Chain A
Amino acid sequence: MSVQAPHKTTIRSIKCTSCGAPLALRAGHKIRTLTCQYCGAVMDTRDEFAVLDKFINQEKPITPLDIGMQGEIKGIEFTIVGIIASTAEGSTWVDHLLYSPTHGYAWLSYQQGHLVFERRVRDLPDNNLNYQKHRLGSRFYAGGRAYKLFDHYTSTISYVAGELTWIAKRGDTSSVIEAIKPPYQYSQEQTEGETEYYLGEYQNAEEVLNSFGAIEHRHPPQGIHPAQPMKKPFLKALHKAAKPFAIIALLAFLLINIFFDGNTMSSFYVLASDVQTGKQTRYPIKIDKPKAIIQLKIQSRMPQPYVQFDTILGSDNNTYIDIGKNLSGLPKTMKINSWVEANYNMTSLFKAPKAGTYYLEFRPGRVAAAPSNTSEKTRITVQVTQGIYTRKYFIWLLIFSLTGLLLYPVFRMLYENKRWKGAHGD
């Protein structure tokens, strides 16, 4: 017995039974109608191409794609076999019916430069979608994904051309509920007596149009499509990379604060008037761990303009500690140009070359104004802490890593706000 090969893979040509224009049949046997692009006649493919309806004066919608174009999506080769334009609430979009001999039918939806690949799925939502019951943003599951309800509208067909798997008429309406999980979208389409579910995936328009040979007709995408994912690869990578550093910096900062806060070796106060009058200018400080970092903290609430001090830290044999580069703003002689006007606090970190007693010496500087009685009693408090672990590097690391960590979510939040501005919820 010989097996007759069904005619499926070749393009068949027919003449429009209404106007005689040559038309091609590119899809398979599930095609129900063929609509002439020239005269708008809708022909029944299962009844000798009898004319079922006629779309008069159809205006071709703006789309870079056309019937007969071939290209790849998700590694599958498709041919565009039909086009439908629909409108809803002032918006117009164009759905292109795709056909693949191995994967059947799918849709490529074009709107304002955005492209979404859609196909019918049998994954039902885990609850009945009803926009009157469910609020905008409410969540449901379908096909293992959690979607958020985004929009609902009634779409009306405004243009039909080529092959379609059902009898479409201009003015036909369907009630659509749309939900998103970018780059995916899930929609429920209800027509009279039938409910279908579609899974959409946002596409890189440039890649798809390039594949279909329509890149020169591309329009730049406008606004944010509901299913469009945010494309900030650098910020995303930074967010990912910054996470461990932020954790390390935060832990280090907490550990230092809890366990390595150092030992207070000296804590005393000096009367500003004693320094100013020269009554006492040297104060001993004992250091017993020469390799440990020492923090010298000097605070005062002197009213200004008052007086300017120079402070010096010297050893018992009058040699000064060379504190090297660690003490910013101070010369190597440990002359501490403590505070300028309005600078009430000074913190210095240094290491002593050897254990012993050192002296903190205040040298009165320029008198900016005559000291008053009140200011004579002003205290300069001094605190010397030994075994300090410097926090500033961890603080900077924390600042940088938190910035890296938070930039992506902040941008994302702004992006999502923009996306959801277009959503309709009742």
Chain B
Amino acid sequence: MYSSSINCPQCGDAQALTFKHTKLTVCSSCGSTLFIEDEQVRLAGKQSVLADYPSLIQLNRSFTCHHDSYLPVGHIRYTYKLGYWDEWWVLDNSGEGKWLSVDEGDFVLERPISIQSGIPNLALLALDQEYTILNQEWVVTELDRAKCIGFAGELPEIIEAGETYEYAHLSGLNGELLTLEFPENQAVRSYMGQWLDPYSIKVD
């Protein structure tokens, strides 16, 4: 696994980095948010501590699921119409990063993918509509707006508390999931993955 470190410009404390493409980290000593761009560290204000709710997944505590091992290194909490959910940036055995979404016992593991064409227009998306994306049939099962309410650890993208974006969840015929995120004035982000059984997760 990748290993590097930076010094927090606020308190000077060394911060270990476990992911090569980390763009944002929260100083574990002073809680400052640090943007990392081209090996330059930029202070981006203070990050408050995320409220501690009961969770199977814990930051920097590895877990296994179906013989695969994961290490959660970053954590974002979002709110949506119904409540909140947690996104965990986890690194697998090979050091590849994936997003693990956890919402009241629903666990979904997704990896960022690139979709060149076929992404429907946000304004035209509707629940239960069917689309063919990446030569696969998908049905829109959820449409909502997410708002970031806090983050911790290392993250592969720069995010700000209070940031919002529209998203769509699409389900495949065999339990696959496709998530499309529509941040304002930015390119659509897409992720594809599968449901994880929380009863198969063993925290080390």
Interface residue ranges, A against B (CB under 8 Å): 1-6, 8-9, 28-30, 46, 74, 100-106, 119, 121-124
Is A3's CB under 8 angstroms from B50's CB?
A: yes
Is B79's CB under 8 angstroms from A100's CB?
A: no
**In terms of DSSP, what is the predominant structure of the interface of chain A?**
loop
- Asked if B120 CB lies within 8 Å of chain A CBs, one says no
Chain B residues 106 to 144 lying within 8 A of chain A, measured CB to CB, are 106
B22 vs chain A, min Cβ distance (A): 21
Q: A28-B83, A122-B175, A124-B175 are in contact. Are A105 and B105 (CB under 8 A)?
A: yes
- Asked if B199 CB lies within 8 Å of chain A CBs, one says yes
Q: Please, which residue of chain A has its CB at the minimum distance from the CB of B108?
A: A122
**In terms of DSSP, what is the predominant structure of the interface of chain B?**
loop
- Asked if B77 CB lies within 8 Å of chain A CBs, one says yes
Size range of the chain B interface in the assembly: 20 to 34
Q: Select A29's contact among B45, B54, B82, B175, beta carbons within 8 Å.
A: B82
Q: Select B49's contact among A3, A9, A101, A103, beta carbons within 8 Å.
A: A3
* Among A3, A28, A104: residue with most chain B CB under 10 A: A3
Which residues of chain A come closer than 8 Å to B103, judged between CB atoms?
30
Which residues of chain A come closer than 8 Å to B150, judged between CB atoms?
1, 3
Is A100's CB under 8 angstroms from B105's CB?
A: yes
Q: A6-B83, A8-B83 are in contact. Are A28 and B104 (CB under 8 A)?
A: yes
Is A3's CB under 8 angstroms from B161's CB?
A: yes
- Asked if B165 CB lies within 8 Å of chain A CBs, one says no
Is A104's CB under 8 angstroms from B106's CB?
A: yes
Which residues of chain A come closer than 8 Å to B47, judged between CB atoms?
1
Which residues of chain A come closer than 8 Å to B162, judged between CB atoms?
1
What's the A-B contact tally at a CB cutoff of 8 Å?
Answer: 70
Q: Select B56's contact among A29, A102, A119, beta carbons within 8 Å.
A: A102
Is B199's CB under 8 angstroms from A103's CB?
A: yes
Which residues of chain B come closer than 8 Å to A123, judged between CB atoms?
175
Interface residue ranges, B against A (CB under 8 Å): 45, 47-51, 53-56, 77, 79, 82-84, 103-106, 149-150, 161-162, 174-175, 194-195, 197-199
Which residues of chain B come closer than 8 Å to A103, judged between CB atoms?
56, 105, 198-199
Is B104's CB under 8 angstroms from A29's CB?
A: yes
Q: Please, which residue of chain A has its CB at the minimum distance from the CB of B160?
A: A1
| Bound-state Cα–Cα, A119 to B199, Å | 10
Which residues of chain B come closer than 8 Å to A102, judged between CB atoms?
54-56, 105, 198
Is A124's CB under 8 angstroms from B174's CB?
A: yes
| Bound-state Cα–Cα, A29 to B105, Å | 12
Is B198's CB under 8 angstroms from A104's CB?
A: yes
Q: Select A3's contact among B54, B149, B194, B199, beta carbons within 8 Å.
A: B149
Q: Please, which residue of chain B has its CB at the minimum distance from the CB of A165?
A: B104
Is B83's CB under 8 angstroms from A122's CB?
A: no
Which residues of chain A come closer than 8 Å to B174, judged between CB atoms?
124
A42 vs chain B, min Cβ distance (A): 19
B137 vs chain A, min Cβ distance (A): 15
Is A30's CB under 8 angstroms from B104's CB?
A: yes
| Bound-state Cα–Cα, A95 to B139, Å | 30
Q: Please, which residue of chain A has its CB at the minimum distance from the CB of B175?
A: A122
Q: A2-B48, A3-B150, A122-B175 are in contact. Are A101 and B53 (CB under 8 A)?
A: yes
A122 vs chain B, min Cβ distance (A): 4
| Bound-state Cα–Cα, A3 to B174, Å | 37
